[in-house]
Amino acid sequence: MAYKVEWDQEKGFIHTVYSGVVTKQALLESLAETLKMIEGKGPQKFLSEWISAFPKLSTAEIFAIPGEWESAGADRKSVLALVVPKRAKSWEDAKFYENVCRNRGWRVRVFDDRNEAIAWLEKQKIILPKKE
């Protein structure tokens, strides 16, 4: 398996670690697993690590990822910190993904340091929907 998804109760976020070759299919599977964990729970915080991963995703596939989240009903008030190595292609792809997400109203930020990503994530406020 190219990924592992778990709930980090201590830090209060969903943590996904990708490793090895990551294809579109593996990405969609991790998305489905993550969505099962958050179903009906409103906005969440996510830490996604790609340090040991080698994504095999085209630009079009990267561009489509936020749409997958949207069609699956994920809450746009969620926050995602992405940890990616500064290898040229991986970093460029991650920054492209960050830009696509932000243009669609998602709060996403790319880091090359895990501790910085966690610190940023911990500072982010989750805005819960108003109850009527």
pTM of the entire predicted model? 0.88
Contacts of 77 (CB under 8 A, 6+ apart): 42, 43, 107, 126, 127, 128, 129
- 63-88 tens-digit pLDDT: 999 998 888 878 888 999 999 999 87
Domains, the chain, ranges and CATH? 3-123 (3.30.750.24)
Query: Alpha-carbon distance 125 to 25, whole Å?
Result: 31
Cα–Cα–Cα angle for 91, 36, 15, nearest 5°? 40
Q: Residue 97 and residue 86: Cα distance in Å, rounded?
A: 15
Q: 104 and 66 in contact (C-beta within 8 Å)?
A: yes
pLDDT per position as a tens digit, 110-130: 999 999 999 999 999 887 666
